[in-house]
Structure 1
């Protein structure tokens, strides 16, 4: 049975399963969900699936002839308006990078490792991503953690390094207040992801 057919059969029994959950059931917990993600996106493009955010903020896969209830979809949109989770930031980055010719590996959820590793020919782009956080102090912590984790990974002189956040005023302000000398010395750039999935890289 083709992978697409196996995915559809699984979603029939588990509506709303995430790419990670599908990967765990069809393969193993140690398998990267990129293949499932790509196949689900193809199925969505064909109209076979609806990829919709669940109440827990994760993107679930639903059969197109049995989508999530309208009330749930509206509730999810209002609940997360402008409040992107880390995985939602990663998903937008994946779409944007692939559209620009990059091959992408994502560490979904709490998987350890590089959040987003993009490669294109001999180029490597390492991106540390964070979600919106639930309070201003938490966002400051997220920003500092992202910078620290990026500096710890900075062991390839030819690679590009970025930190990515939801496009929120506070994250923009934190980036703007980072001294120009620090940005120039490290070469780190910031990437801001809008709630509609638009992506902007800022130096």
Structure 2
């Protein structure tokens, strides 16, 4: 049994590779030796700080949020894009203003970070899901599919596929503010099976009475 710790960093996501273990945390992205995660002298080991910028933190604080948790940069999506570049895709909360990053396998930054709304939730407390799929897409492109919450008030959940990098294929998303599609969902996971993407989530039944306990009627949906 081996363990790794660098303090209170909320280790949210892991990604296992052939020789590496990638870890997404609060303000931090790690690459560890998968055979010995304690070995910081390994040539595989790397630690990359990804804090939010000061102006982004100040904007977050203006919404009366907690700087010690809400207004940090929590990694909420960590996956490998199966393209010819085989790079790492990261989406983080970025002080309630989601941001996406592309890293090479050695954790050198490949492209400048950019806005990540739709790829992951603003709130680090919200469970979101995302995956990369090469199957059944227009023009045989590979795409990221995600389930997240877009807004501060938690009233705009979304299942999202971004546009293609070259702009020839438009984005797709679930209808906005339509409870027949999504009603305050708690996303669990997503799977790529054949030519379909399956999203698993829980949500409150619409027939639940206002005076009933909050968890008295919960449906699981696909």
Report if TM-score (shorter chain) is over 0.5.
Answer: no
Which has more helix, going by share of residues?
1
TM-score (norm 2): 0.29
